[in-house]
Structure 1
Amino acid sequence: MNVSQFLQLLREHPEHTLTFVLSDGSTIPPHYHITEVGHASKTFLDCGGKGHRTESCILQVWIADDTDHRLHAKKLVTIFDRATELISDHELPIEIEHEAPVLTQLTISRHEVAADSLVFHLSHKHTDCLAKELCTPNFNIPAIPGTCSPASGCC
Structure 2
Amino acid sequence: MKLSEIKQILETAETVNFKLENGTFVPEHFHVTEVGMVSKHFIDCGGKVRKEKVANFQLWDATDFEHRLKPGKLQKIIALSEKVLEIEDLEIEVEYQFGTIGKYDLGFDGYNFILLTKQTACLAKESCGTPRQKFQLSALETSYCAPDGNC
Q: TM-score range by the shorter chain?
A: 0.7 to 0.9
Match of 1:11 in 2: 11
Q: Which runs of 4+ in 1 moved over 4 A?
A: none
Correspondences of 1:39-118 after superposition (within 5 Å)? 39-83=37-81, 84-90=83-89, 92-113=90-111
Identical positions, percent: 38
User: How far is the alpha carbon of 1:87 from its aligned partner?
Assistant: 4.4
What runs of 5+ residues in structure 1 fail to find an aligned partner?
Answer: 114-118, 139-155
Q: Unmatched 5+ residue regions in structure 2? A: 133-151
> What is the rounded CA distance, in whole Å, between the counterparts of 1:61 and 1:136 in structure 2?
36
Number of paired residues?
130
State the match for 1:30 in structure 2: 28
Calculate the aligned-residue CA RMSD, in Å: 1.5
Shift of 1:12: 2.8
Aligned-partner Cα distance in 2 for 1:108–1:137: 31
Query: TM-score when scaled to structure 2?
Result: 0.81
Instruction: Measure, in 1, the Cα distance between the counterparts of 2:99 and 2:120.
Output: 20
Q: Deviations over 1:61-82 (max 9, x none)?
A: 0111111110011000111122
Instruction: Kindly provide the amino acid, as one letter, of the partner of residue 42 in structure 1.
Output: K
Q: TM-score, normalised by structure 1?
A: 0.79
Shift of 1:23: 1.7
